Amino acid sequence: MKSFLAGLHLQRDNPTFLMAQYRALSSQIPVLYVLLVINALAVAITHIGTAPQWLALYIPVSLSIICLFRLCWWELQGKRVTDPATVYVIMRRTTVLAVVLSFAFGAWAVALYRYGDAYQQGQIAYFLVVTGTSCIFCLMHLPMAAIATTAVCFSTMVATFMFSGNAVFVATATSVIFLSVPFVRVINSYFQNFSGLVHLAEELKKKQAEAEELNVVNSTNALHDQLTGLANRRSFFVELQAMLAERPEEPPIVGLIDLDGFKPVNDLFGHSAGDHVLKETAARFLHLVGEDGLVARLGGDEFGLILPRGLERRQVADLGIALCSAVREPYDIPGGSVRVSGSCGIVYPEKRRHTAEELYEKADFALYQVKSKRNGSVEFFSPDHEKILSQRHVIELELQANDFGKELSLEYQPVVDLSSGRVVAFEALARWDSARLGRISPDAFIPAAERTAMIGKMTRILFAQALEALAVMPAQLRLSFNLSARDVCDHETSMALIAMVSRAGVDPHRIEFEITETALLSDFDTAYDVIGVLRAAGISIALDDFGTGYSSLSHIHRLEFDKLKIDKGFVMKFDREPRCVSITRSVASLCQNLGIAAVAEGVESAEIAEALRRMGVQLAQGYHFSRPLPLGEAIAFAAGRDRTAIGRRSLRA
Ligand code: C2E
Ligand code: CA
Ligand code: CA
């Protein structure tokens, strides 16, 4: 009983529930008063003349005036109250008033009872039970008031009729006694259901709010880079497309900025330092670009710019320079500061229709050009770039349209042992003689094959030729074969190559794969695994173009290369740039210390070959010895060098 009553108390500490209760109650209370007034007046009217006037008229009219007054208050004010504290007070007052009014109307009805005949007494019984019950139903959302009203109405009715001496009334009073228990139960369970519903509605509202919040977060995440808060790649393209759709003939200016030297910051100082650099860069860019354009982080350390068409070319160049200078300013990180630089590629498009992808590709191409110069500056997409880019497209199309396999071949550049002068190996270099485009440089078609995902197929075709060549070469000669970055990051290609070696019956120790550091940078873990598998199969691995890329000692250490190939860029400038001589000397001594061979590429003169030999470089290749040759000529060249070496030896003997 105690807990039952406790459950019916007003929940002052639960304002949401209190308000829900009040809202439901305030819609029922006016009905209650209307019912009460109509029924009371009906009873009063039938008793005018039979009961004293004060009882038949004044009291019911006074009570009805009170009721109507309350009705007006609820209609005009009560329904508008929104403050839970006031609501609490009103509901308490309503409970008290319910008891007072039930008592007043009950006492009035009982007082009238003795003045009426049997019909009028029946009407009073009806008034007490039916009107009482109706009022109780109207008070269901305020269970204390409902139960108090039940108690007052029913007990008044029972007390009056039980001792009336009329069998019908006694029977009615008895059934009302039995009715009261289930009645209270109904009030209770109705209220509990109501609480459950309010609770459920609350939960639903909360869930809905959470879902809406999540939606907002998701849509923010979908369009913003979480680290820097800048627009992300997706919204960069959405914005670009929207601008192009709005004014197709006036494409906006698009720029790309890529940080140089960002990766070492990440590697050496940790990701939080890297994150700080990116965030700070974003802030510097936003400050410089201001409201005029959009700055986005397109991924990694690449940022995108969209600038309004109205800017002059000169202004755009100045902005590009300012952005690159801003990147060069030091970045404070815990325990010191770091420096990076940035390169910027910009397309200032002609006034004609462009797609977003076209603009991006052009800016990217300009960026690639400026990055290859390594001076951290700004470059605009130019008509020359346009020419190269369209050639690139032609090559890509040709690669996809044609059965290029038949047009591919290899040439072999001899690798010479500098101390003996003999050829010890060849480097296989791809050639493509396109029926439509003529001879295309591997520097053009290899990247095109990488972009169009044809490289795996191309590598297999070329490697099959290399294996055939090995079979006809003298057994002491080895063959170097270039793998593209994509091949090195692809388990499928590497497995296929190993299978091809074993099918061809060639000794895998005669094969060397040349890979560049680009391959390691894109996906080191996969490259590491692939290299391990290839080495386990007996194939050796050389690091190509050493000195041009990242040239990380940790790569050399972790991957245990069998050879380092010193890039021809250094070797060819030997006689002009002392710096190149020092770098080559350092690499040679690094290889000596590691116990691996160094190969110098691009040796174009006897002097350079001799200088390299004195530095301790064992192997060399270059136009001084031979250009890349067709297989037959390459084998003949090796035999010729052998004969010369033998001749020299016998002369010395
Ligand atoms: P690489 O691996 O660095 O190859 C050396 C390049 O330098 C070759 O150009 C070669 O002809 C050239 N070269 C050799 N000696 C000299 C010299 O004394 N002076 C000068 N100026 N150049 C010299 P090539 O054949 O045009 O190849 C260019 C690049 O294409 C190669 O650079 C390599 O990265 C790629 N490549 C060539 N064949 C293949 C291949 O079969 N697969 C893959 N993935 N890449 C290949
Ligand atoms: Ca090579
Ligand atoms: Ca090379």
What is the rounded CA–CA span in Å between residue 38 and residue 35?
5
What is the rounded CA–CA span in Å between residue 293 and residue 257?
14
Ligand showing the shortest atom-to-Cα distance for residue 425: 2
Ligand showing the shortest atom-to-Cα distance for residue 485: 1
Q: Calculate the alpha carbon distances from 582 to 588, 589, 612 in Å.
A: 10, 11, 11
Torsion of Cα atoms, 418 then 421 then 422 then 425, to 10°: 30
| Distance between Cα 546 and ligand 2 center (Å) | 10
Contacts of 424 (CB under 8 A, 6+ apart): 415, 416, 417, 476, 477, 478, 619
Ligand 1 binding pocket includes 251 (Cβ within 6 Å): no
Ligand showing the shortest atom-to-Cα distance for residue 429: 1
Is residue 154 scored above 90 in pLDDT?
Answer: no
Is residue 182 scored above 90 in pLDDT?
Answer: no
Give which of 463, 395, 401, 388 is closest to 432, Cα–Cα: 395
Give the helix/strand (H/E) hosting 336.
strand 336-338
Ligand 1 binding pocket includes 446 (Cβ within 6 Å): yes
Ligand showing the shortest atom-to-Cα distance for residue 449: 1
What is the rounded CA–CA span in Å between residue 127 and residue 530?
95
What is the rounded CA–CA span in Å between residue 464 and residue 486?
18
- Torsional class of 17: left (φ above 0), alpha (ψ -120 to 50), beta (otherwise): alpha
Predicted pLDDT at 354: 92
Is residue 540 scored above 80 in pLDDT?
Answer: yes
Predicted pLDDT at 4: 61
| Distance between Cα 107 and ligand 2 center (Å) | 112
| Distance between Cα 442 and ligand 2 center (Å) | 11
Given pLDDT bands bounded at 50, 70 and 90, which one contains residue 456?
A: very high
Assess contact for 345 and 367: CB atoms under 8 A: yes
What is the rounded CA–CA span in Å between residue 635 and residue 613?
24
Q: 51-105 pLDDT, tens per residue?
A: 999 999 999 999 999 999 999 999 998 888 989 999 999 999 999 999 999 999 9
Q: Please give the distance of CA 587 from its chain centroid, rounded to a whole number.
A: 43
| Distance between Cα 410 and ligand 2 center (Å) | 13
| Distance between Cα 190 and ligand 1 center (Å) | 87
Ligand 1 binding pocket includes 448 (Cβ within 6 Å): no
Note if the pTM is more than 0.95: no
Q: What is the identity of the amino acid at 251?
A: P
Ligand 1 binding pocket includes 447 (Cβ within 6 Å): no
Burial class (CB in 10 A: 0-12, 13-18, 19+), 330: exposed
State which of 480, 568, 605 you would mutate to test the pocket of ligand 1, scoring each by most atoms of that ligand within 8 A of its C-beta.
Answer: 568
Please identify, by atom number, the ligand 1 atom nearest to the C-alpha of residue 410.
41
Ranking 1-15, 240-254, 474-488 by mean pLDDT, the lowest is 1-15
Ligand showing the shortest atom-to-Cα distance for residue 514: 2
Predicted pLDDT at 6: 64
Q: Strand 563-566 vs strand 597-600: parallel, antiparallel, or unpaired?
A: parallel
| Residue of higher predicted confidence among 557 and 6 | 557
Predicted pLDDT at 1: 54
Q: Provide φ and ψ at 620, rounded to 5°.
A: -150, 155
Ligand 1 binding pocket includes 492 (Cβ within 6 Å): no
Residue having the nearest C-alpha atom to atom 32 of ligand 1: 443
Is residue 133 scored above 90 in pLDDT?
Answer: no
Cross-strand partners of 423 = 416
Torsion of Cα atoms, 189 then 190 then 193 then 195, to 10°: -100
The mean pLDDT of 545-569, rounded to a whole number, is: 85
Predicted pLDDT at 97: 93
What is the rounded CA–CA span in Å between residue 486 and residue 475?
30
What is the rounded CA–CA span in Å between residue 19 and residue 31?
19
Residue linked to tokens 């960026």 = 367
Q: 367-393 pLDDT, tens per residue?
A: 999 988 767 789 999 999 999 899 989
Contacts of 195 (CB under 8 A, 6+ apart): 17
What is the rounded CA–CA span in Å between residue 306 and residue 633?
55
Give which of 398, 411, 515, 521 is closest to 454, Cα–Cα: 398
Ligand 1 binding pocket includes 622 (Cβ within 6 Å): yes
Contacts of 382 (CB under 8 A, 6+ apart): 366
Percent of the chain with pLDDT over 90: 67
Assess contact for 440 and 432: CB atoms under 8 A: yes
- Torsional class of 335: left (φ above 0), alpha (ψ -120 to 50), beta (otherwise): left
Q: 611-639 pLDDT, tens per residue?
A: 999 999 999 999 999 999 999 999 999 99
Is residue 186 scored above 80 in pLDDT?
Answer: yes
| Distance between Cα 611 and ligand 2 center (Å) | 22
Any alpha helices (H) in 13-83, and if so which ranges? 15-47, 53, 59-76
Residue having the nearest C-alpha atom to atom 43 of ligand 1: 482
Ligand 1 binding pocket includes 439 (Cβ within 6 Å): no
Ligand showing the shortest atom-to-Cα distance for residue 480: 2
| Distance between Cα 137 and ligand 2 center (Å) | 93
Considering the chain, what is the average pLDDT of its residues? Answer: 91
Ligand 1 binding pocket includes 480 (Cβ within 6 Å): no
Domains and CATH numbers, the chain: 2-206 (no CATH), 233-381 (3.30.70.270), 407-652 (3.20.20.450)
Torsion of Cα atoms, 284 then 287 then 293 then 295, to 10°: 30
Ranking 124-133, 236-245, 472-481 by mean pLDDT, the lowest is 124-133
Ligand 1 binding pocket includes 545 (Cβ within 6 Å): yes
Ligand 1 binding pocket includes 547 (Cβ within 6 Å): no
| Distance between Cα 257 and ligand 3 center (Å) | 28
Ligand 1 binding pocket includes 512 (Cβ within 6 Å): no
Residue having the nearest C-alpha atom to atom 19 of ligand 1: 602
Percent of the chain with pLDDT over 70: 98
| Residue of higher predicted confidence among 367 and 195 | 367
Predicted pLDDT at 2: 57
| Distance between Cα 441 and ligand 1 center (Å) | 9
Q: Provide φ and ψ at 480, rounded to 5°.
A: -100, 135
Assess contact for 565 and 514: CB atoms under 8 A: yes
What is the rounded CA–CA span in Å between residue 275 and residue 221?
17
